[in-house]
Structure 1
Amino acid sequence: MASCRDHDEMTPFLAENVDEEKAIGASPPVDEEDSERRQDEHDLTGNSYIRSVVTVGILFSINLLNYMDRFTVAGVLPDLKSAFNIEDSESGLVQTVFICSYMVLAPVFGYLGDRWNRKYILCAGISLWSIITLCSSFIPNQYFLLFLLMRSLVGVGEASYSTIAPTIIADLFVEDQRSNMLAIFHMAVPAGCGLGYIVGSKVTSAAGGDWHWAFRVTPGFGLLMVLLIVFFMKEPRRGAAERESQENLTSKSWALDMKALLKSASFMLPTFGYTAGKFASGALDLWASTYLKRARIVQYKTEPCQTAICNYDDSVIFGVITVITGILGVAAGVQISRRYKKINPFADPLVCGFGMLGSAPFLFLALVSAKYSLVSSYVFIFIGDTLLSMNAAIVDDILLSVVTPTRRSTAEALQIMVSHLIGDAGSPYVIGVLSDYIRRGNPESTLWMFLSLQYSLMVCTFVAVIGGAFFLLTAIVFEKDRQRKEKVPED
């Protein structure tokens, strides 16, 4: 999805401004024509092409910091567990309370994002998120409940950003350009996750095991992003990049927006598929590093390890894998979908579906093999994560294809709420509870600490299969809903 819209689609628009020489048959060079076409599209948005690209760069950077902050918790989870003296279930709760507030407030910001100036909402939300993250780094080890409260408040700021950023990109670019820019935007997710693991663990180590310093890295950069938004970002007009949508672009009531979204099968089905993916990835992102550390203890408890891998930091290894697989997965998903779409209009949901179905057996093998070989487990994680990441940008592309511009923030918010409510809001906690439950029925040992978490994480592989099935069902209704997205109900 790397080019501007096709020439045939642009012809009616260009015909209005064509000069006499072009009208009698001459055509400009391809590069000049592409440049005019691209500039013409961005004139409609009120942003130049360069400013639009800069805006995507700023949004990418914020998304990177967003996920760095979120997965700093995973990178220092063993340190938090030790410092607060908590069980697996309470460890999972740290991520769950954050996701819950993020989920609950997403519809509020979705409503505001479809009606108010999105630039100001972003500034307020990112400022709040940065300040609260910094404050959470000063909480003493004996105040676990206060730490939970602060992590939940971080979700308030992130809800403002995640519901709005994709809709801004949608209003700056169209078709192939939009898909490419969304892919770039979503590449920040795995990169941020991986950096969260790495920075969290390394900063904690450098601070002599003090986890508080891990949460003091992102706030300063967050406030810098606010300044970049203020001085370099310009609010685009909603739906301006889509000429076919220029008529009657007025916001309806929130009730009508929700009614239309809930009736759209090609919006709800991929939302459920995405939710299944969030359940699996949310649990694995928080627990995988801890699981691999426990696997290492089980492998080498009776016989000293003589290989270099024994000196590796599993948080760093898993972080690097997360960065690479996420970028590969997002890029592969977008490019495969782009090429497949030329012969099959249902390419987007099919690529998402087969990606999730393909990830399940590799995630299962990664869990099973960890007891015997960490190298093979990392290989299976690499393949499984790559396949699981393929839907990241495509899901947004599906949403933008079937939802009219005036309700896209609401759609993003609804998708966030559903995917977190049933997905990663509860999955880290559920896995922790299952792990504690299994361990209580067995002898206290390092082996059963490992096995209890292994059996709990198996749930993720089955959920991935269910998510793949939802995406395949989407392919049945996708094209019909995409063609009628501009029909906004009046009652």
Structure 2
Amino acid sequence: MIEIWIKGGGEGESGICGHIERGCCGRGAEGEVQTLSGSMNPPPAGKSPERLAPRHKPRSLGRARVAAAGILSVGNVLNYLDRYTVAGVLLDIQQHFGVKDSGAGLLQTVFICSFMVAAPIFGYLGDRFNRKIILSCGIFFWSAITFSSSFITEQYFWLLVLSRGLVGIGEASYSTIAPTIIGDLFTKNTRTLMLSVFYFAIPLGSGLGYITGSSVKQVAGDWHWALRVSPLLGMITGTLILIFVPVAKRGNVEQLGGQLKARTSWLRDMKALLRNRSYVFSSLATSAVSFATGALGMWIPLYLHRAQVVQKTVETCSSEPCGTKDSLIFGAITCFTGFLGVITGAGATKWCRLKTQRADPLVCAVGMLGSAIFICLIFVAAKSSIVGAYVSIVGYFTSIVCVFPSSLQYVVIPTRRATAVALQSFTSHLLGDAGSPYLIGFISDLIQQSTKESPLWEFLSLGYALMLCPFVVVLGGMFFLATALFFLNDRTKAEQQ
């Protein structure tokens, strides 16, 4: 027989949970199991029960947490798959609804605007209510809206725009809350690993979005079918979250549960975050990343198609379905470089940590500054060599995927993390990809209006508009350098709290 001693609710109290055979763990009414004693006697006087605690957690519990993180990562893949399916069939949408570049860019801009407005609301809810219920409802909502939008006819382009705005609300709940659940399931290196897997879903899902949109459209002969794949998978994933993802206690793995029962007000949370200088500068840096990736992700496949029209290797699309080769290649590159970027960035960060504790923001800064060079090479190479343009795209995405959002988990206390993620999401979208797709399309249309109508000027005008991206990326690199100056101090403050 083995006695189980637990730490009780009162200060300095302890008691017997019960006698069980074969040595098992139990949980008290007010506290968690602290020790296993091999005798019938309580721990010696003066000895803390915590010192006799088992060193390892049950394997089944660890597997359950890993499975939960895997399901949440799959949901993140579907979020971005749905988001970029539209970009994969953008040329068909332009032909179907008869809209110009600015109209096509409006689809992504409306989506991001609704996303960023909803994110702070879900951040507030995520710090106070059942997170997995909110996640599942968000997935079910955007899945239903996306499926319904696949039946919109050519007279109702405004309805397609509205539906993308509603999808943004559903996806905001997921992107804001899911990483905070992973943060509360794991700690230290394991947390960083799991969050890296979760955020690897961004390039993977984005690439699969291009591939899914192009492939399904080609097989079905109708781009509308491309919008019916992600909703089905989304419904399945939402159900799995309800069943298998645990209700993680905020700060539990960091042994802070008892210290975090009293919550601060939303206004106080916001003030604390705005005083966190590394958080502010990293938010500005991710805004620059968002601006560039949002614009390039939306327009590069169409830009490369126009480049091939100018080089007379393909014909201009005049009827549906349009060619899918560029979207397929771009999607495959996004998936591959996402994986390569995560591996390269993780290796570089691990090596740099041997030299400095500011490795994370410094690696991100170097990666962003290097990516600006590759963006310029895309436009130089596209004029004469599509292969050269694709090589430059590989270099860009490999460099830009160095950003590690997991550092946010270390400079913000657990009860403030959902709000922090939501505010950073709001800022990065407001200053980044909320306006960049439409802005690039607007500048492109403006240049075309001042020139003669021709395939050459359609290609050049879009390229000139996209040249805004490298300047923004360089600015983002500077913000990451500023983050490195305050990172250690802010991390220490969060640990002390």
TM-score (norm 1): 0.87
> Displacement, 1:312?
7.5
- Provide the rounded CA distance (Å) in 2 between the counterparts of 1:201 and 1:380: 22
- Provide the rounded CA distance (Å) in 2 between the counterparts of 1:366 and 1:230: 44
Residue-by-residue CA offset, 1:464-485 (whole Å, 9 max, x unaligned):
1000000011111110010001
| Distance of aligned partners of 1:302 and 1:387 in 2 relative to their CA distance in 1, 3 Å threshold | closer
> Displacement, 1:117?
0.6
> Displacement, 1:250?
2.9
Partner of 2:355: 343
Pair 1:193-2:206 in alignment: yes
Pair 1:72-2:108 in alignment: no
Aligned partner letter, 2:340: L
> Displacement, 1:63?
0.7
Aligned partner letter, 2:426: M
**Counterpart among 262, 274, 279 of residue 291 in structure 2:** 279
Instruction: Indicate if the aligned counterparts of 2:250 and 2:257 stay in contact, CA closer than 8 A.
Output: no
Partner of 1:259: 271
Mean CA deviation greater in 142-151 or 329-338? 329-338
- Provide the rounded CA distance (Å) in 1 between the counterparts of 2:208 and 2:161: 22
Q: CA RMSD in A?
A: 2.2
Residue-by-residue CA offset, 1:133-180 (whole Å, 9 max, x unaligned):
111111111100011001100011101101001101100111111111
Instruction: Indicate if the aligned counterparts of 1:133 and 1:215 stay in contact, CA closer than 8 A.
Output: yes
> Displacement, 1:302?
10
**Bigger Rg, which one:** 2
Partner of 1:441: 450
Partner of 1:151: 164
| Distance of aligned partners of 1:364 and 1:18 in 2 relative to their CA distance in 1, 3 Å threshold | farther
- Provide the rounded CA distance (Å) in 2 between the counterparts of 1:132 and 1:302: 35
Pair 1:376-2:388 in alignment: yes
| Distance of aligned partners of 1:293 and 1:38 in 2 relative to their CA distance in 1, 3 Å threshold | farther
| Distance of aligned partners of 1:315 and 1:301 in 2 relative to their CA distance in 1, 3 Å threshold | closer
Mean CA deviation greater in 226-235 or 81-90? 226-235
Partner of 1:216: 228
Partner of 1:84: 97
> Displacement, 1:441?
1.1
Aligned partner letter, 1:268: V
Aligned partner letter, 1:360: A
> Displacement, 1:206?
1.8
Partner of 1:470: 479
> Displacement, 1:247?
2.3
Partner of 1:363: 375
- Provide the rounded CA distance (Å) in 2 between the counterparts of 1:325 and 1:169: 24
Instruction: Indicate if the aligned counterparts of 2:215 and 2:324 stay in contact, CA closer than 8 A.
Output: no
Aligned partner letter, 1:39: K
- Provide the rounded CA distance (Å) in 2 between the counterparts of 1:51 and 1:301: 52
- Provide the rounded CA distance (Å) in 2 between the counterparts of 1:407 and 1:241: 16
Pair 1:183-2:196 in alignment: yes
Instruction: Indicate if the aligned counterparts of 1:114 and 1:251 stay in contact, CA closer than 8 A.
Output: no
Q: For residues 11-160 of structure 1, what are the structure 2 equivalents within 5 Å?
A: 37=55, 39=57, 48-160=61-173
Instruction: Indicate if the aligned counterparts of 2:218 and 2:324 stay in contact, CA closer than 8 A.
Output: no
Instruction: Indicate if the aligned counterparts of 2:364 and 2:402 stay in contact, CA closer than 8 A.
Output: yes
Partner of 2:25: none
Instruction: Indicate if the aligned counterparts of 2:249 and 2:257 stay in contact, CA closer than 8 A.
Output: no
Partner of 2:253: 241
In structure 1, the residue corresponding to 2:494 is in which secondary structure? coil
Where in structure 2 are there 5+ consecutive unaligned residues? 1-32, 40-53, 316-322
Instruction: Indicate if the aligned counterparts of 1:186 and 1:330 stay in contact, CA closer than 8 A.
Output: no
> Displacement, 1:486?
4.7
- Provide the rounded CA distance (Å) in 1 between the counterparts of 2:331 and 2:117: 29
Instruction: Indicate if the aligned counterparts of 2:260 and 2:415 stay in contact, CA closer than 8 A.
Output: no
> Displacement, 1:301?
6.0
Pair 1:400-2:417 in alignment: no
- Provide the rounded CA distance (Å) in 1 between the counterparts of 2:56 and 2:424: 31
Instruction: Indicate if the aligned counterparts of 1:435 and 1:456 stay in contact, CA closer than 8 A.
Output: yes
- Provide the rounded CA distance (Å) in 1 between the counterparts of 2:288 and 2:145: 30
Partner of 1:225: 237
- Provide the rounded CA distance (Å) in 1 between the counterparts of 2:376 and 2:284: 22
- Provide the rounded CA distance (Å) in 1 between the counterparts of 2:309 and 2:376: 20
| Distance of aligned partners of 1:372 and 1:121 in 2 relative to their CA distance in 1, 3 Å threshold | same
Partner of 1:27: none
- Provide the rounded CA distance (Å) in 1 between the counterparts of 2:264 and 2:254: 19
- Provide the rounded CA distance (Å) in 2 between the counterparts of 1:240 and 1:246: 9
Instruction: Indicate if the aligned counterparts of 2:358 and 2:487 stay in contact, CA closer than 8 A.
Output: yes
- Provide the rounded CA distance (Å) in 1 between the counterparts of 2:258 and 2:362: 30
Q: Which has the higher contact order (CA 8 A, sep 6+)?
A: 1
Partner of 2:183: 170
Q: For residues 411-426 of structure 1, what are the structure 2 equivalents within 5 Å?
A: 411-426=420-435
Partner of 2:5: none
Moved over 6 A (4+): 14-20
Pair 1:321-2:330 in alignment: no
> Displacement, 1:37?
4.4
> Displacement, 1:332?
2.0
Residue-by-residue CA offset, 1:269-294 (whole Å, 9 max, x unaligned):
00100000000000000001000100
Pair 1:450-2:423 in alignment: no
In structure 2, the residue corresponding to 1:300 is in which secondary structure? coil
TM-score (norm 2): 0.86
Residue-by-residue CA offset, 1:186-207 (whole Å, 9 max, x unaligned):
1111111111101101111222
> Displacement, 1:337?
1.5
Aligned partner letter, 1:167: T
Which structure features the higher share of helix residues? 1
- Provide the rounded CA distance (Å) in 2 between the counterparts of 1:150 and 1:15: 52
- Provide the rounded CA distance (Å) in 1 between the counterparts of 2:81 and 2:169: 16
Aligned partner letter, 1:415: Q
- Provide the rounded CA distance (Å) in 1 between the counterparts of 2:338 and 2:179: 18
In structure 2, the residue corresponding to 1:379 is in which secondary structure? helix
In structure 2, the residue corresponding to 1:390 is in which secondary structure? coil
- Provide the rounded CA distance (Å) in 1 between the counterparts of 2:492 and 2:257: 12
> Displacement, 1:343?
2.7
Partner of 1:29: none
| Distance of aligned partners of 1:424 and 1:83 in 2 relative to their CA distance in 1, 3 Å threshold | same
| Count of residue pairs brought into register by the alignment | 446
Partner of 1:481: 490
